[in-house]
Amino acid sequence: MSDTPHRFRLPDDVFQLRVSLVDSEPVIWRRVLVDQDVLLPRLHKILQAVMGWTDSHLHQFTVAGLSFAEPDEESSPEPIDYRHIALNQILPAKGATCIYEYDFGDSWDHLVELEDELARETVSGPLPTCVDGARACPPEDCGGLHGYELFLQAIADSEHPEHDDYVRWAGGDFDPEAFDVAAANKLLIATGRPRRTK
How high is the pLDDT of residue 2? 47
Task: Please name the residue ranges forming H helices in the chain.
Answer: 40-51, 87-90, 144-156, 163-169, 181-190
Residue 196's pLDDT is: 45
Q: Which residue, 44, 54, 33, is CA-closest to 137? A: 54
Q: pLDDT by residue (tens digit) across 35-51? A: 999 999 999 999 999 99
Of the candidates 147, 170, 148, 167, the residue with the CA atom closest to the CA atom of residue 157: 167
The CATH code of domain 14-136+179-190 reads 3.10.290.30
In angstroms, rounded to a whole number, what is the distance separating the alpha carbons of residues 33 and 12?
Answer: 12
- The string of pLDDT tens digits covering residues 26-84 is 999 999 999 999 999 999 999 999 999 999 999 999 999 999 999 877 767 889 999 99
What confidence tens digit (pLDDT) does each residue in 107-158 have?
A: 999 999 999 999 988 998 889 999 999 999 999 999 999 999 999 999 999 8
SS3 151: helix
The whole-model pTM stands at 0.89
Beta bridge partners of 30: 19, 133
What does the DSSP assignment read for 104-145? TTTTEEEEEEEEEEE-GGG--S-SSEEEEEESPPPPTTS-HH
**Boundaries of every domain in the chain:** 14-136+179-190, 137-174
Amino acid, single-letter form, for residue 95: G
Question: Does residue 97 surpass a pLDDT of 90?
Answer: yes
